[in-house]
């Protein structure tokens, strides 16, 4: 049974809630944070809130339903520090927090639970960007999704927008006094629902890679398709299409005014793409070889100072001094052993230890192809959880 649909007994104690943004501020500020996650163990193991100073404890909500809570359960929860309780949507956690408060614990609960956590979306300026105009990186900490917003001389473009934040891009453009001209996707995403079509409906020119159309995109005639070498002007800045297949056959990067290469899921600052989400295990070796060729011939041939900005970051990624998940190509070559391997070794390493595929990835791909129609609430639910679009970090970096 869905715990969020249950009618819980009313605890005697009232408990305060903490907004997701406030919790993240505590974590980012280096505070010691203790979380009691009241979801089922399987949900917890798949997706949880991490952090260097975060202690996370999983005790499912049903352990707190009896009037007499098991002593071992209570013993697992620190009674000498503040505890934030969380669940999926905020209902079960409010009850659990109240039950603990009745027993003298110092607690609050996370407002809207993990759903609220998934609504955090932050914009950080890429200060090391050396191109024309201003470049922002959007960050969604719940899933590690990244997007890019470049603006100059009254115009703007967003790369890899999320459908859930369509209004945010338009509001940011209005606040900055610019017109959002283009919305570009790097590929058919497998971990989140793209916002390109919805932005296109709002008058923004939607762009998808021409190379991705053959996967079965049903709406290609409604959008602009970008071929290798095509350019898009944003004020005095130029976005150039760079075809970089491997993660998918349509994978395309965008070189933002020679300052940053938005690599989608081709290359991240801590890993490279996984090659099995389009053709499965059978097609993964050929895709890995395609990825190797793209990296060696299309990406690593750019100047060393060119920044790389992927579409995701993982919990092990370290941000740059400006708070963005970007890094110069030259640094990545030094730090990531996979970028210095020959082709056969690269393929072996990438295929050796791939993580589980993203949750609901087949439904998400079908939705992004236009073959599956979901409303906004369904779309948001589909993409909850980790992205898992990168190969395992093990053995990819230097010791």
Query: Which of 87, 107, 114, 188 does the annotation list as catalytic?
Result: 87
Alpha-carbon distance of 211 to 97, in angstroms, equals 51
Nearest to 269 by CA among 338, 202, 371: 338
The Cα 381–Cα 393 span in angstroms is: 27
Which of these, 287, 285, 234, 227, lies nearest to 260 by C-alpha position?
Answer: 234
Q: Which residues pair with 184 in a beta bridge?
A: 159, 207
CB of 207 closer than 8 Å to CB of 234: no
Burial zone of 245 (CB within 10 Å; 0-12 exposed, 13-18 middle, 19+ buried): buried
CB atoms within 10 A of CB 159: 28
Q: Cα–Cα distance between 252 and 243 in angstroms, integer?
A: 4
Give the C-alpha separation, 241 to 335, whole Å: 26
Q: Is 87 a catalytic residue?
A: yes
Distances (CA, A) of 117 to 7, 190, 230, 234, 324: 23, 20, 37, 33, 19
**Per-residue tokens: 359:** 């949750």
Give the residue numbers annotated as catalytic, written as ranges. 87
């Amino acid at each position: 049974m869905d715990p969020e649909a249950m009618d819980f007994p009313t605890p005697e104690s009232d408990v305060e809630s903490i907004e997701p943004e406030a919790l993240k501020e505590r974590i980012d500020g280096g505070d010691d944070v203790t979380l009691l996650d009241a979801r089922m163990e399987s949900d917890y193991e798949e997706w949880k809130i991490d952090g260097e100073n975060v202690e996370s404890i999983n005790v499912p909500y049903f352990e707190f339903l009896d009037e007499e809570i098991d002593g071992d359960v209570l013993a697992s929860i620190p009674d000498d520090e503040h505890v934030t309780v969380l669940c999926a949507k905020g209902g079960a956690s409010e009850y659990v927090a109240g039950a603990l408060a009745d027993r003298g614990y110092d607690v609050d609960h996370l407002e809207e639970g993990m759903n609220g956590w998934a609504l955090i979306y932050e914009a950080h300026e890429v200060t090391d960007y050396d191109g024309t105009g201003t470049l922002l990186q959007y960050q969604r900490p719940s899933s590690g999704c990244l997007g890019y917003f470049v603006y100059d001389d009254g115009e703007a473009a967003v790369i890899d927008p999320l459908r859930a934040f369509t209004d945010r891009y338009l509001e940011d453009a209005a606040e900055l006094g610019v017109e959002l001209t283009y919305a570009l996707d790097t590929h058919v995403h497998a971990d989140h629902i793209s916002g390109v079509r919805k932005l296109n409906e709002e008058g923004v020119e939607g762009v998808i890679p021409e190379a991705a159309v053959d996967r079965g995109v049903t709406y290609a005639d409604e959008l602009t398709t970008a071929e290798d070498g095509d350019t898009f002007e944003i004020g005095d800045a130029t976005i150039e299409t760079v075809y970089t297949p491997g993660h998918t056959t349509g994978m395309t990067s965008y070189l933002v005014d020679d300052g940053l290469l938005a690599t989608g899921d081709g290359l991240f600052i801590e890993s490279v793409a996984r090659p099995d989400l389009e053709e499965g295990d059978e097609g993964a070796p050929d895709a890995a070889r395609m990825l190797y060729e793209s990296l060696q011939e299309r990406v690593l041939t750019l100047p060393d100072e060119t920044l790389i900005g992927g579409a995701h970051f993982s919990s092990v990624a370290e941000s740059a001094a400006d708070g963005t998940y970007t890094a110069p190509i030259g640094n990545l070559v030094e730090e990531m052993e996979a970028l210095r391997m020959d082709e056969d070794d690269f393929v072996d390493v990438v295929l050796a230890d791939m993580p589980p595929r993203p949750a609901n990835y087949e439904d998400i791909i079908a939705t992004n192809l236009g073959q599956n129609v979901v409303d906004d609430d369904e779309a948001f639910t589909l993409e909850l959880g980790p992205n898992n679009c990168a190969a395992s970090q093990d053995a990819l970096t230097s010791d």
